[in-house]
């Protein structure tokens, strides 16, 4: 099957980590946040029910975004750079569609050779001193069904495949995408 657009989730797909869980561990909230993340990924709770709660408790600072970006890169899945490069050389449009935090994903995208305009994630806002202010509450990626909305927009460029590991990635099928689930996640 030939696809014009190849979309990847980030957490536990392009990188081996779950970014929000790593931020939670950094703040001493690891176990509680991991349970919420797992519940959202498996469809036990709707994403919007946990998104605000996680960020309100973690309150990531701008420095945390830099730290997380470095961790995403350090934990890059083996072969990801080569796969992205091969897809792009074959003329495929490659996008990242993630419920992760955009400032932490952009450096990873740069390493992968993916343009910032092709990174769809949740923006986060900081106060002048770098402390947490809020997140983009209007982002479709902070809500259940959000990936399906973005996939629907991207299908204008042709047949699309979504590669990921969770329920939010499966939602892309609602918009007509082919879905490939990664099973390596332990």
Greatest mean pLDDT among 28-37, 45-54, 150-159: 150-159
The residue ranges of every structural domain in the chain are 5-181
9 is known as an active-site residue: yes
134 is known as an active-site residue: no
Residue 71 has pLDDT above 80, yes or no: yes
Q: Which fold has domain 5-181?
A: Rossmann fold (3.40.50)
Q: At what angle do helices 47-58 and 19-26 cross, to 10 degrees?
A: 30
Tokens 């994630």 appear where?
A: 121
Name the average pLDDT for the chain: 89
Per-residue model confidence (pLDDT) at position 150:
92
Q: Please tell me which residue in 11, 21, 64, 169 is annotated as part of the active site.
A: 11
Walk across the sheet containing 160-164 and list its strands.
Answer: 119-122, 93-101, 5-8, 160-164, 178-181
Give the H/E segment covering residue 100: strand 93-101
Q: Please tell me which residue in 9, 21, 64, 165 is annotated as part of the active site.
A: 9
């Amino acid at each position: 099957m030939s696809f014009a657009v190849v979309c990847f989730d980030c957490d536990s797909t392009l990188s081996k980590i779950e970014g929000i869980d790593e931020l939670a561990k950094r703040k001493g909230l690891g176990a509680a946040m991991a349970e919420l993340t797992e519940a959202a990924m498996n469809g036990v709770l709707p994403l919007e029910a946990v998104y605000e709660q996680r960020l309100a408790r973690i309150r990531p600072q701008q420095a945390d975004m830099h730290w997380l970006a470095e961790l995403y890169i350090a934990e890059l899945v083996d072969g990801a750079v080569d796969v992205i490069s091969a897809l792009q050389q074959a003329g495929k449009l490659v996008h990242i569609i993630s419920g992760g935090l955009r400032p932490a994903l952009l450096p990873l995208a740069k390493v992968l050779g993916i343009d910032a305009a092709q990174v769809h994630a949740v923006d986060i806002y900081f106060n002048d001193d770098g402390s947490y202010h809020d997140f983009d509450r209007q982002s479709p990626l902070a809500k259940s069904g959000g990936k399906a909305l973005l996939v629907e927009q991207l299908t204008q460029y042709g047949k699309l495949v979504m590669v990921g590991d969770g329920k939010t990635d499966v939602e892309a099928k609602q918009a007509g995408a082919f879905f490939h689930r990664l099973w390596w996640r332990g």
